[in-house]
Structure 1
Amino acid sequence: MNATIAPRSEIEGLSVSVVVYRPDLAELESTLATLRAACQTLRATRPGWPVTLYLVDNGGLPDVRPALEALGADDVTTSILTGHGNVGYGRGHNLAIKSAKSRYHLVLNPDIDLDRDALVRAVDFFEGHPDTGLLTPWIGDENGRQQFLCRRYPTLLDLFVRGFLPGSVQRLFARRLAHYEMRDLINDRDIVWSPPIVSGCFMLFRTEVLQKLAGFDARYFLYFEDYDLSLRAHDVARVVYLPAVRVLHHGGGAARKGSAHIRMFAASAYKFFSRFGWKWL
């Protein structure tokens, strides 16, 4: 890190971008409902704070008008960005990031459920630590078990084992995967500074940091754009894992989504390692 980031006191509020492509309707509605509840808690401590949701339609957006109307009833402004086609995950978020005029910006997956206190705890931490630019939460699965989505820099073997081998075989690499997933440091209690890589399913930024980085690298269509952005974020601000902020994640890995996702994963991995350096074993 080579810069200290101070909050811009004249700018308030939160913006959120959610990129969708043929999303699961029930999961998306749950995400929007829990976002609404988290915004209600945030507003209780910061009355009048503007909150804007950018719903980026890369294709196949279902009818979520009731959920958006519920957000509007709580004074959450919603902007649907559509008509641009399936431009990819990172480029979709960039459409919103370029427009954001908030103090904080949340990059959010449409398969995340937020704890009611998630946003207020995150913002409180940011405002008490002005050098923090990116925050990642405790992330649980559908059964409430912790997902270890902070990462050390990967090798090709790490990615192959974790992404494509069955669980029975992965157990043979348990120590290696535990190191890659930072299980020696990441838990449900301790704040961890400077995890090298954090998950793109929930990335809460100080907006000026995110815009200074020009958002996601548009060369990635899907996968590894969060790895790339995480590594670049360390150059301009501090990154923190804060387990007091909690979310649940319903997503799955590339191998479980079919051959097209495997090809996209491989293409993005090549771009990532070509930029940041190859590690094989």
Structure 2
Amino acid sequence: MKPDITSSLVTYHNDPAILKNVIDSFLNTTLSVQLIISDNSRTPAIKALATDPRCEYVFNNANMGFGAAHNKAINSILDTSRYHLILNPDVTFPAGTLEALHTFMENNPGVGLVMPKVLDFHGEMQYLCKTLPSPMDLIIRRFVYTIFPNLFKKRMIRYQMLDRDYTKSFEAPSLSGCFMLLRVDALKKAGLFDERYFMYMEDIDLSRRVHQHYKTVYYPDVYIYHGHARESYRLNKLLLTHIKSAIKYFNKWGWFFDAERRKVNRSL
């Protein structure tokens, strides 16, 4: 029997207790599901967590990056699944979440990607919907806005879509990769993750490409919990990785002259 929802979970030396929480969350459903754990770690230590027959463990034997590891899993389900969930290791959610999202996608065939309400582990809202970014949006948000929140405030409100009512559903062209429920037909049209991004920006890139063919929707009737460590906001090599990915993104889509970005953001 074909699964109702498949999912891929990319791991890299994550805490086994945290991984068990997300695995248990995904498997706690009445739907037919399959979880593919795509492990970028140096050793297959977490294989022991994949004891449920609905889990498949894939040891990559190298850190191939976030998008490439997800693609390895997605390619194996393109002909067997209608919906695929991109799942982060630092996510948990209550029973019934998958059922509600599955029903939403079944009832809305024009939607290619949906993300639910996202809370931190204290129950505070995480505002993870974005317009398509310009170079200045990313520079201001990373290096200016966190220190001087009153500078460029209106611009950041627009970019982070904070002028929207997050109690209601709306379209957003850029949705977070922490939890992306995708219509597989949308992936077939838009393509999978661009593997030129080792980590960061690949979710914006994929969400943007799906948005070209389908609606990409924030749906607040269900919620998840997300750790959201924001590691790249620290002065370490992950910040450099984020900068490199941003350069690749703007080289691909355009730096200051991006007609599609202008059109999509104005339409919102």
Partners of 1:142 and 1:161 lie apart in 2 by 27
Equivalence for 2:46: 63
Partners of 2:127 and 2:103 lie apart in 1 by 24
* Alpha-carbon shift at residue 68 of structure 1 (Å): 3.2
* Alpha-carbon shift at residue 24 of structure 1 (Å): 2.8
Spell out, residue by residue over 1:243-269, the C-alpha distance to the aligned partner (whole angstroms, 9 max, x if none).
012111102224345421111111110
Spell out, residue by residue over 1:85-109, the C-alpha distance to the aligned partner (whole angstroms, 9 max, x if none).
1110000000011001211100011
Partners of 1:248 and 1:257 lie apart in 2 by 22
Equivalence for 1:250: 227
Tell whether 2:71 aligns with 1:94: yes
* Alpha-carbon shift at residue 120 of structure 1 (Å): 0.8
Q: 1:110 to 1:158 in 2, by over 3 A?
A: same
Spell out, residue by residue over 1:181-215, the C-alpha distance to the aligned partner (whole angstroms, 9 max, x if none).
1011141x21103x111001111011122233331
Q: 1:243 to 1:143 in 2, by over 3 A?
A: same
* Alpha-carbon shift at residue 110 of structure 1 (Å): 0.4
* Alpha-carbon shift at residue 115 of structure 1 (Å): 2.6
Partners of 1:52 and 1:11 lie apart in 2 by 9
Q: 1:83 to 1:230 in 2, by over 3 A?
A: closer
1:275 to 219, 229, 252: 252
Tell whether 2:104 aligns with 1:122: no
Provide the aligned length of Structure 1 versus Structure 2.
254
Partners of 2:3 and 2:151 lie apart in 1 by 49
Equivalence for 2:17: 26
Equivalence for 1:190: 168
Equivalence for 1:159: 138
Q: 1:62 to 1:180 in 2, by over 3 A?
A: farther
Unaligned segments of structure 1, at least 5 residues: 1-9
Name the TM-score, length of structure 1 as normaliser: 0.83
| Secondary structure, counterpart of 2:213 in structure 1 | coil
Partners of 2:254 and 2:88 lie apart in 1 by 28
Give the conservation status (yes or no) of the 8 Å contact 1:118–1:246: yes
Partners of 1:154 and 1:83 lie apart in 2 by 32
* Alpha-carbon shift at residue 238 of structure 1 (Å): 1.7
Moved more, 142-151 or 203-212: 203-212
Equivalence for 1:209: 186
Partners of 2:196 and 2:105 lie apart in 1 by 30
Partners of 1:99 and 1:242 lie apart in 2 by 28
Unaligned segments of structure 2, at least 5 residues: 258-268
Name the TM-score, length of structure 2 as normaliser: 0.87
Give the conservation status (yes or no) of the 8 Å contact 2:135–2:250: no
Identity %: 33
Equivalence for 2:195: 218
Supply the RMSD in Å over aligned alpha carbons. Answer: 2.1
Give the conservation status (yes or no) of the 8 Å contact 1:18–1:54: yes
1:139 to 118, 143, 149: 118
1:35 to 26, 47, 66: 26
Spell out, residue by residue over 1:127-149, the C-alpha distance to the aligned partner (whole angstroms, 9 max, x if none).
11111111111111121111111
Partners of 1:200 and 1:28 lie apart in 2 by 17
Partners of 2:158 and 2:130 lie apart in 1 by 9
Partners of 2:234 and 2:112 lie apart in 1 by 32
Q: 1:82 to 1:211 in 2, by over 3 A?
A: farther
Partners of 2:45 and 2:149 lie apart in 1 by 37
Partners of 1:236 and 1:104 lie apart in 2 by 16
Q: 1:17 to 1:174 in 2, by over 3 A?
A: same
* Alpha-carbon shift at residue 277 of structure 1 (Å): 1.6
1:13 to 4, 9, 16: 4
- Relative contact order (alpha carbons < 8 A, sep ≥ 6): 1 or 2 greater? 1
Give the letter aligned to residue 34 of structure 2: T
Q: 1:31 to 1:64 in 2, by over 3 A?
A: farther
